[in-house]
Amino acid sequence: MIVVIATGLAAFVVPNLVWTSLRTDPRYVPQLFLGLIALIILFNVYILEQKREVNRTRAQLLRELMESAKAKETALVDPLTGVFNRRYMEEIFPREISKASRSGSDLSLIILDVDGFKDINTKFGHFGGDQYLRDVATLLKKTFRGSDTVLRLGGDEFLIILPETSNKQAVRAAERLSWETRWWNQAGHAKYELSFSSGVATYRKGMDMKEVLDKADKDMYRVKIERQATRHAAESQAWMLEDPGQSAVRSSRKKDVH
């Protein structure tokens, strides 16, 4: 590069110094033209080399940016289910709250807790439990909109963030998920059936992330308790309506045990 720069300087300085002698001696004209051609060639080679160097640097930076983006994305995704994780929730949810607060738009969320996940693990093993969670995640991604964000909070808990969604719309979305779950179970995709309890909460101006999550969590446990009470009531009613002969047999077995 130094040689090229020196040659370039010479191209400007030398002609002014020797132009008078060159005009009087035509023998130097061919050498002058050859020197200019050589200078042009060297300059073009230099430009091409610089361009290649810029392209190499740009490609390297692009690779590093892509690797950095991939590493960041990997850190924000749950490796088991392929949906976003709690870390991403802590990043995106405050942004959605800020957006809803500024624009006055609705923001709701649905929190899900798998029913009897411990029994699933006991019956089908940890591999079966992992597949169960993957099936839940797949169903959630299929059911909700592309603008919604599906996350796994950890364990058997999932969260769906629904921007520009009122409380009534979020409740309907949760009902739609219930229908999708019934259809999935009826299709017999697996040896188990998917079952989970859900809670809905809607952001109100002035609330922070924890308050919205706590509200959804309380709603979910309310639903879970109500479902358990309904199931126990149904079991009790079935016991009362049971065939008298079967009741006698069962009572006899109980006496034998005692």
Catalytic machinery residues: 156
Nearest of 158, 159, 172 to residue 93 by alpha carbon: 159
**Dihedral over Cα of 200, 206, 209, 215: its sign:** negative
Q: Virtual CA dihedral for 9, 15, 17, 22, nearest 10 degrees? A: 160
Phi, psi of 181 (to 5 degrees): -65, -40
Residues 101, 95: Cα–Cα separation, whole Å: 10
Residues 255, 252: Cα–Cα separation, whole Å: 5
157, β-bridge pairs: 113, 154
Coil vs helix vs strand at 76: coil
Coil vs helix vs strand at 160: strand
**Neighbouring C-beta atoms of residue 227, cutoff 10 Å:** 13
Furthest C-alpha separation in the chain: 135
Residues 250, 138: Cα–Cα separation, whole Å: 43
